[in-house]
Structure 1
Amino acid sequence: MAKRKGGELIAEFLIGEKMPYVFGICGHGNVGLLDPLYERRDEIKLVSPRHEQTAVHMADGFFRVSHQPVATLTSTGPGSANQIMALAVAQTDSSAVFSITANVPTSQFNRGPFQELNMHHQADFDNVIKPVVKRSFQPTRVEMLPLAMRQAATTMTTGRPGPVNLDVPYNLFQEEGEISNEAPSSGLGNRRSGASEEDVAKVADWLVSAERPVIFVGHGVTLSEAGEELTKLAKRLSIPVISSPNGMGTIDMRDPLSLGFIGRNGAYAANQAGRHADLVLAIGARFDDRSASSWKPGYSWNFPATKLVHVDVDHAELGRNYPPDLAILADARAFLRQILSELDRRGVGGDARLVGWLADIAGWRKEWEAFIAPGFEIHASPIRPERIVADCRKVLPEDAIISLDSGIHHNWFMQFWEARRPQAMLNTWGYSGMGFGPSSILGAKLAAPDKVCVSICGDGGFTMVPHVLCTAVEYNIPVIWVVWNNFAWGAIRDLQYAYFDGREYGTAFRHGANGEPYNPDFAAWARAAGVDGYTVTRSQDFAGTLEQAVASGRPALIDVHVDAEIRPPATGAWELPPIPPKEPVFGGPWRP
C-alpha cells in the first residue's frame, strides 16, 4: 500500500459515504484538510458559510430533506465551539450530521498551545461536544482514522439518527500512513428492526376492537419514510391521525383523517380526539411537554385511562413520559408494514364502528373552523398572523419546503399549516434554537434544488444569523426568507403579558432615542447583500410579493410587519412550573 496523508483518507471516506457537501469554515487547524478537499472538489463540494452554527444548521436541513448525511468542518477552538447549539438542535431532532473538528497537534497535547482546552484533560474539546452528539471519536494516529470514521458513520445512522463528532489533531491531516479506508457504512434505513409476531397480533386486536382510536405520529415516521404505510393504515381502518410538528406531512394534512398538531397551540379537534380516545397508537413520537400539554391529564391526553401502544426505534423514549400498555422497540416503517400484513391476513378493512367517532371529530373540526375563520378573512395593517399562513398556503406549491425558527410565528404555523408531503416542514422542535430556520433553508435548497424553499423566521431569530444572506449570494442558493417582523421577542413578551400583569421588560425592540418600535430595515439589509428585498405592511400585498419572489428564482427577503397583539388561540396547555398554566382559550379541558 502507498503511503497516504490523513486528510486524503478523510476526503476519500466522505466521498465513499456519498456525501456531496462539506459545510465548513477555514482555520489554521483545518487548513491541512482543505487541500485534499480541493483535489477532490469535483466529487465533494465545500460550501463555506460565515458562521459555524449556520454550517451545522445547513447540514441539518440537508439531512431532513434528503435523509443523506453530510459533513461539517471547523477549526480548533472557537470555531468548533460555535457549533454546540446547532448540534444540540440536530441531536434532539434526530438529524445525522458528520461533524469534523480540528484539535491541537498531538506533539503539543497538554502544553497549553493556542486554543487547547486542558484544564481537566489534554486536547479536551471532545468533552465539550459529547453532550450534543451521539458519540465523539478522537483518533490520535493516522492509522486510527479509518476505523474511527466508519464507526462514527455507523453510529450516526443506526437506530435513532443523530450527529457524531470526529475530533482530529491537525497534524493527522498531513501525516502519512500505509493504510486504506474500510468499507463504507450501510447508511440510513438499511437496518430496520421489526416487532415480534405476538406484539403485532396484539396491536391488530386492539385496533379493530377500539371504538375511539387515534394514531399519533412523530419524527420517527418521517425518518423511516413511512408516510405511504401510515396513510394506508389510517384509511384502511378509518383511524384519525394526530401529528407532532416533525411528523407533519407524513399523511396529507388536507386529508379528513389528519387532525393536525396537538398541545397548547394544537388544533381543537386534535386535542379533543386525544382527550376522548380509548386507544392511542403512538409511532416515533416522544410525548414532549409541548405536544402533551405538559402532561396534565385531560388537556391533550388521558393516560393511563386511555390505552397506549408506543412504538419507537429508541428504547429510551419508550415509557419516558407515559408508561405504555404495550411498548414496541421497532422501526416505524417496518412496524407499519407488519400491521398491514396482519390486517391482510385477517381480511380486515373499513370499520363501520367508527362512524360515530368520526362524526364527533367532524363536529369538533366544524366548531374550530367557525371560531378561527374571521381572522383569515380580515385585511389589516399591520397584518394579522393568520393572513401570513393563509397566503403561504395559497401561493406556495404543494411540494414547497418551509423552515421555521423558534418564536411566535412557529406557533401559528404549527396550528394552521397544512403540510402536503413529508420532509417539507423543518422545525427546531426539541432544542428550539434560534437561527435554525434562516440557516437550514440553505441546506434544504441544496438538497432539493428543484423545490421552492422558504424560511419563515422571526425578526429576532433572523438578526442572529443575517450572514445567511451572504452565503445565498456567494453560492447562488435561491431561497426566500419571510421575516415575521413584530418588533419584539414576541413569544416571551406574551408570557410577560400573561403571567406578570403585562409588565414588559427586555422583550420589545425600541429605538434608544425616541422609544419607538425599532428594527433594522431588513429589506435594505438584504439588498445591501445582493438579495432582493421587499417590505410589506398591508395584508393585501403579501401574496403578490411572495409570488414575485418565488417567480424570480433569486434569493429574496420579505420583511412582513405582523400585528404583535394577536396571539394563537390555545386549545391545550403549557406549564412553566411553578406558575399555573393558563386555561385554553377555546375548549376547556375534559375530565374522564
Structure 2
Amino acid sequence: MLSPSDAGDALSASKCVDVRRESVRCEIELAFFSANTGARGRSVSECVMAFRASKYRECRVKLTGGQVIAKALRAYGVRYVAGVPGNGNSGVLEGLNTPGASVPFIRVVNEQSAVHMADGYFRACGSAMAVVLPAKTGIFIASAALSNCLSDSCGVLLVTGDRVSDDTTTGSTSSTQPASGWDADSACGGLKRSWKVRAFSELSQAMHHAFASVLGARPGPVHLEVPLEIQKHTDHVHSESLQNRLAQVGLQGDPALFERAASLLASAERPIILAGGGVVAADATSELKELAEALLAPVLVAGNGIGAIPDDHDLNAGSVGSAGNGCATALLGKADVIVAVGSRLSDLPDIDGGRWSVSELAGKKLIQIDVERDEIGKCCPVEVGIVADAKSALADLKSALNGKLKRATGARRQAFIELMRELRGQWLNAVASKSGAHETLISAPRPFLELRKVLYRDAIAVIGSGALAHIAREHFPVYVPRTFLSPGASAAGGWAVPAAIGAKLAMPARQVVCVVEDSDFLQSMQEMAVSVMHSIPVVFVVFNQSGPEFVSGAVGSLGVRRTMGEFSLPDGRPYSLAFSEIARSFGLDAWRVEHASQLEGVFRRALDSTGPALVEVMVARHETHSPQSPNDVQLHAAQQASVA
C-alpha cells in the first residue's frame, strides 16, 4: 500500500503524463491543420491563432431562438413545459420539438392553470417547471397564480412572446447590456423579476440569469419576454453558453453566532423549535429531527413547514398559525427560548388568538435563522439572528451544542416534554370527537380519515383553498415532507386541480389525491381534460356540499342559516351539479358517494384506476366547523389552565 507521500508523487506523475499526451495531441492536430490549409510560410503564432479559431467554430452551433430556449431548459433540468399555444410563442414551441432538445409540452385550457401546475410541480419536488404563453397579456390573466408563487416562494419560469418593437434587434449586436435588462415591472407585481430580451445575442445569458433568480436563495416566479422575431431568428451560438452554470452552494452562517445561539439553548429549560417552509425547501428535515432530539425540544410547524417533522414523531407538537391548534399555541406561549428556522413569523398567533407583538415576547429569547437578511427581526425582535440556509444552519447549530448540554437541564426539559404529550393527547381526543367517524351522514372531516387509511405514507395530498385546509390539517396526518400541498396564505381559487396534475408530473411514482370543494373545483375543472389527454392518474375528491342536512347543525352559531356560501335556488333548495357525470364525460372513472360506509371502498377503487379518477362526496350541509370552533375554544382554555 502506498504511503500518502508516495501516493501524492504518483498522482503528480500521472498528471504530468496526461499533460504531455495532451500536448502531443495538440501538436499533431496543429500539424495536420497547417498541412491541410496551406499554412506554409506562415509563422507559428499565426498558425496557432488560426487553429484556435477553427476549434472555436467547431463549438458553435446554428440554432433558432426557440431552440436556444429549449436547450437551456433541458440544461437546467426542466422536464415539462405547460402553457397555451399561439402565434406569439410559436417559435418557442417549435424549439421544444427539436430532436435532442425536446421538452414535453402540456397544453392547458386556461393560462392561470399553467402557472398553478408549475406551482404544484415545484412544491412536490423542489425543481422548476416552465410556462409558455403567447403574449405578455397572459401575465395579467395569471396574476393571481403568480402572486401565489411569489408569496410561497415557488420557482416558476414564465416565457411570453410578443411582436417586434423598435428596440428589438435580431442580429448579434445587443441593444442593452444584459445586467440592465432586469427591471421590476410595476404592472406585474406578482413577479420576482421581469426582463425583455432585446437581441438574439442576449438570449442564452438571459436564460442563465432567469434560472439564477428562479432557483435562488428565495425562489420565485420570473418572467422572460422574447419577441417572436428573436424566437424565429437563426444564428450561431456557442454550445458552452447553453450549459447549466448554477453553483449548488449553501449559505453558511457566522460561527460566532452559532456559539451564542448554542449557549442560549444549553441554558434553556423550555426550548422550542419553530420550523417554517424554509426547512422543507432546503431539504433539512433530517437535520431538524437531529437537533430536536439532541435538545429534547418540541417542534412546531408553521405555514409551508407542514411535513418538516412527521406527525407521529414523539417531539411533534403540532401547527401554529391560522391552521394551528391549541396545544402548539399553549406551548409557544410558555417557551423561554424559540429557534425559528425558515419562517417569516408573519402568521403566528399569540396565546389569545391574535397577532404577535413585542409585549408577547417578554421573557422569551428568539433565535431566528433565515436565508434572507431582510427577514431577520422583521416581525419580532431577535436575540440572535443568523443569515444561512436551513440545512447548513441546523447542522452547524447542533455541532455548536456538543459538550454544552448538561444532564440536569435535560431532566428539567423532560417535564416540559411530558406536558406537551398530555396537551397533544387532549387535542387529538378533541379532534377525534368531532371527526364524524360514527355517523352515517358524511361530515367534512370523515373523507380525510378514510383517505389516510388507504393512502401510502408518502402519498401527496393536494388540498384546495378555504376552510378545507384547516380541516385537513386536523384530520389528515402528514409523515413526509412535500406531501401536504395547499395554496398557503393567498388561498387562490382554482389552484388545486392543476396543482395536483403538476405534483403527479413531478412525482409519478407517488399516489396523488386532490381534495377540493365544489365551488373551488368549478374554477378549474376543465383541466381534467389535461389529465386524460396525457394519462396523468390523479384522484380528484370533490366535496359536493349540497348533501343531506345535519338536523343538529341546521342553524349556525349566530342563529342564522349558513346559506350564503352554498349554491341554492330561489326557493332555498340546494342547487347541485352532477360532478361524477361531468367527470365521465371528460373520460375519467368516476363514483358518487352518499353514505360514509362507502368511502373507503370507493377510494381504493379510484386509486387502483389506471388513469385519472374522480370521487364525488355528498357532504352534509350546514355543518358548523371553523378553525376556532367552540370545542377548540374550550380545549384551548383547558390547555392554558394546565400549562399555568
Do these two structures clear the TM 0.5 threshold for a shared fold by scoring above it? yes
Could you tell me how far apart the structure 2 residues matched to 1:399 and 1:267 are? 24
Native 8 Å contact 2:493 2:523 kept in 1: yes
Partners of 1:237 and 1:482 in 2: how far apart? 41
Distance of 2:530 and 2:441 partners within structure 1: 30
Candidates 320, 336, 340, aligned match of 1:278: 336
1:272/1:300 contact within 8 Å kept? no
| In 2: Cα distance, 1:125 partner to 1:297 partner | 35
- How far does the alpha carbon of each residue in 1:211-237 deviate from its partner, in whole angstroms, 9 at most, with x for none? 111111111000000011101111122
Partner of 2:7: none
**TM-superposed deviation, 1:420:** 0.7
Q: Does residue 54 in structure 1 map to residue 113 in structure 2?
A: yes
More deviation in 321-330 or 477-486? 321-330
1:228 aligns to 2:280 (yes or no): no
Matched, 1:561 2:618: yes
Q: Where do residues 76-225 of structure 1 align in structure 2 (5 Å cutoff)?
A: 76-107=135-166, 127=185, 130-180=188-238, 182=241, 184-187=243-246, 190-225=248-283
2:67 matches 1:8: yes
Task: Note the alpha carbon deviations across 1:234-253, whole angstroms, 9 max, x for none.
Answer: 11221111112411112111
1:413 aligns with 2:462: no
Question: Is residue 473 of structure 2 the alignment partner of residue 473 of structure 1?
Answer: no
Which of 20, 31, 34 is 2:93 aligned to? 34
Corresponding residue SS for 1:507: coil
> What letter corresponds to residue 523 of structure 1 in structure 2?
S
| AA aligned opposite 2:67 | E
In 2, the alpha carbon distance for the partners of 1:173 and 1:531 equals 37
Residue aligning to 1:584: 633
Give me the whole-angstrom Cα distance separating, in 1, the residues matched to 2:285 and 2:159. 33
- Alpha carbons of 1:187 and 1:91: their partners in 2 closer, same or farther (altered >3 Å)? farther
Q: Which residue is 2:447 aligned to?
A: 388
Q: C-alpha separation between the residues in 2 aligned to 1:75 and 1:348?
A: 63
| Residue 95 of structure 1: how far off its partner (Å) | 0.8
Give the alignment's Cα RMSD to 1 decimal: 3.0
1:334 match: secondary structure: helix
Distance across 1 between alignment mates of 2:499 and 2:514: 8
Q: Distance in 1 between matches of 2:321 and 2:629?
A: 5
Aligned equivalent of 1:324: 382
Q: CA deviation at 1:558?
A: 0.9
2: distance between equivalents of 1:214 and 1:301? 19
Alpha carbons of 1:63 and 1:406: their partners in 2 closer, same or farther (altered >3 Å)? same
Aligned to 2:82: 23
CA distance in 1, matches of 2:563, 2:443: 24
Cα-to-partner distance string for 1:19-72 (whole Å, 9 max, x where unaligned): 111111101111122111112477411111111111111111111122111211
DSSP 3-state at the match of 2:283: coil
| Unaligned runs of at least 5 residues, structure 2 | 1-59, 169-181, 548-552
Query: How far has the Cα of 1:419 moved from its partner?
Result: 0.9
After superposition, the Cα gap between the structure-2 partners of 1:236 and 1:407, relative to the gap in structure 1 and judged at 3 Å, is: same
Identity %: 27
Match of 1:67 among 126, 129, 134: 126
1:381–1:516 distance in 2 versus 1, CA, 3 Å: farther
So what's the TM-score if we normalise by structure 2? Answer: 0.81
| Residue 298 of structure 2 corresponds to residue 240 of structure 1 | yes
SS at match of 1:535: strand
Cα–Cα, structure 1 residues 319 and 168, in superposed 2: closer, same or farther, change >3 Å? same
Query: What displacement does 1:572 show?
Result: 9.7
- Give the whole-Å Cα distance in 2 for the aligned partners of 1:456 and 1:41: 38
Instruction: Name the structure 2 match of 1:449.
Output: 508
Q: Is the 8 A contact 1:98 1:163 kept in 2?
A: yes
CA shift, 1:183, in A, is 5.2
Aligned to 2:315: 257
CA deviations 1:316-340 (Å, max 9, x no partner) are 3222221222221110001001012
Q: Is the 8 A contact 1:264 1:572 kept in 2?
A: no
Counterpart secondary structure, 1:131: coil
Question: What corresponds to 1:535 in structure 2?
Answer: 592
Q: Give the aligned residue type for 1:546.
A: F
Where do 1:394-405 residues align within 5 Å? 394-405=453-464
Q: Which moved more, 1:301-310 or 1:92-101?
A: 301-310
Q: 1:241 and 1:438 mapped to 2: Cα distance?
A: 31
What is the deviation of 1:97? 0.5
The answer on 1:368 being equivalent to 2:427 is: yes
Using the alignment, how far apart are the partners of 1:225 and 1:273 within structure 2? 26
Partner of 2:411: 352
Return the alpha-carbon distance in structure 1 between the equivalents of residues 399 and 430 of structure 2. 41
Structure 1: runs of 5+ lacking an equivalent: 110-123, 489-493, 574-581
Task: Kindly indicate whether the alpha-carbon contact (under 8 Å) linking 1:153 and 1:185 is maintained by their aligned counterparts in 2.
Answer: no
Higher-RCO chain (CA-CA 8 Å, sequence separation at least 6): 1
**How far apart, in 2, do the equivalents of 1:536 and 1:265 lie?**
28
Indicate how the Cα distance of structure 1 residues 505 and 372 shifts in structure 2: closer, same or farther if over 3 A, else same: closer
Separation of aligned partners in 1, 2:197 and 2:355: 49
Contact kept, 8 Å, 1:264 with 1:293, in 2: the verdict is no
SS of the aligned residue for 1:526 comes to helix
Once the 2 structures are TM-superposed, how far is the Cα of residue 501 of structure 1 from its aligned partner?
Answer: 6.7
Partners of 2:139 and 2:188 within 8 A in 1: no
Residue 583 of structure 1, CA deviation? 9.2
Post-superposition shift, 1:348? 6.8
C-alpha separation between the residues in 2 aligned to 1:21 and 1:384? 38
**Amino acid of the structure 2 residue aligned with 1:343:** L
**Structure 2: distance between partners of 1:35 and 1:547:** 41
The structure-2 alpha-carbon separation of the partners of 1:534 and 1:33, relative to structure 1 and needing over 3 Å to count, comes to: same
Looking at CA atoms only, which structure, 1 or 2, has the larger radius of gyration? 2
Query: After the TM superposition, which of the residue ranges 292-301 and 268-277 deviates more from structure 2?
Result: 292-301
Q: Give the aligned length.
A: 561
Once the two structures are superposed, the pairs formed by residues 504-519 of structure 1 within 5 Å of their partners are 506-512=564-570, 514-519=571-576
SS of equivalent to 1:544? helix
Shift of 1:207: 1.5
- 1:567-592, Cα deviation, whole Å (9 max, x unpaired): 4464599xxxxxxxx99353139599
Instruction: Find the residue that maps to 2:115 and give its secondary structure.
Output: helix
The Cα offsets for residues 543-570 of structure 1, whole Å up to 9 and x where unpaired, read as 1111111122321111112234334464
Matched, 1:523 2:572: no
1 CA distance for matches of 2:324 and 2:357? Answer: 11
Inter-partner Cα distance in structure 1 for 2:398 and 2:209: 35
The answer (yes or no) to whether the contact 1:263–1:572 under 8 Å persists in 2 is no
